[in-house]
Amino acid sequence: MKIKLNIWKQENPKAKGRFEKFELDGVAEEMSFLEMLDSLNEKLIKEGQIPVAFEHDCREGICGSCGLYINGRPHGPGDEIGTCQLHMRAFKDGDSITIEPWRAKGFPVIKDLIVDRNAFDKIMSAGGFVSVDTGQAADGNAILISKIAADKAFDAAACIGCGACVAACKNSSATLFVAAKVSQLALLPQGKVEAKRRALNMIAKMDELGFGSCTNTGACEAECPKGISIDYIAMLNREYLCASFSEAE
């Protein structure tokens, strides 16, 4: 099939960006979205043009680096998928597709469709760790954890840090990301040691890096490729309030 592409091009973080139009023929329905972009870049290189810069790694919906804003949706049409899991069968012959990078103060554009997501790493560094004994590995059953808590922690840990929640939020909030990372540790006994400091520090770092506050629209949950529930935001708020009261005492 033949498709028309409207792609954001920006030489560097300080350059003024613009949309550029491309046409690509011979696109197979079986192609992934990233394979389609690979084909476009092969065509551009053969024609002596500059290829489109976009980020990717695992191409298995695990790493989160492939995030693109496609036709007004993070990761494009489809539910609970990364951009790398989107296939061209989701589009029709002759369709026009607009592709943009994540739009957020905390995710400055590096080039074209690539944004700097180091802000998430900084948030994690602010409190996303646990104190553990580095001696011999403990027996797996030494610390009893209820199945309900284990399941909730596992669901929260499914977050891949892609930033779709930020891109979907009208306030560019990273609250769902922070909630998932705080909750996955707060639910487990191993995470109790730094629990109070973790919630306070991670939220403070999120604010410092320019992410907005939660708008409670639920757009983050709707666009999350791993279906992280906004229930974890309520858990984050509880952890934050408890930590704040403890600090005040």
**Residue range 57-69, pLDDT digits in tens:** 999 999 999 999 9
Q: Identify the band that residue 176 occupies on the pLDDT scale cut at 50, 70 and 90.
A: very high
Domain boundaries for CATH 1.10.1060.10 within the chain: 118-248
Residue written as token pair 């027996």: 139
State the chain's maximal CA–CA distance in angstroms. Answer: 68
Domain boundaries for CATH 3.10.20.30 within the chain: 3-110
Instruction: Check residue 195 and give its pLDDT.
Output: 87
Query: Which residues have CB under 8 Å from 129's CB, separation 6+?
Result: 194
Q: Identify the band that residue 127 occupies on the pLDDT scale cut at 50, 70 and 90.
A: confident
- Quote the CATH superfamily of domain 118-248: Alpha-helical ferredoxin (1.10.1060.10)
Instruction: Check residue 96 and give its pLDDT.
Output: 98
Q: Which residues lie across from 100 on neighbouring strands?
A: 69
Q: In this structure, which topology does domain 3-110 adopt according to CATH?
A: Ubiquitin-like (UB roll) (3.10.20)
The closest of 67, 189, 194 to 129, measured between CA atoms, is: 194
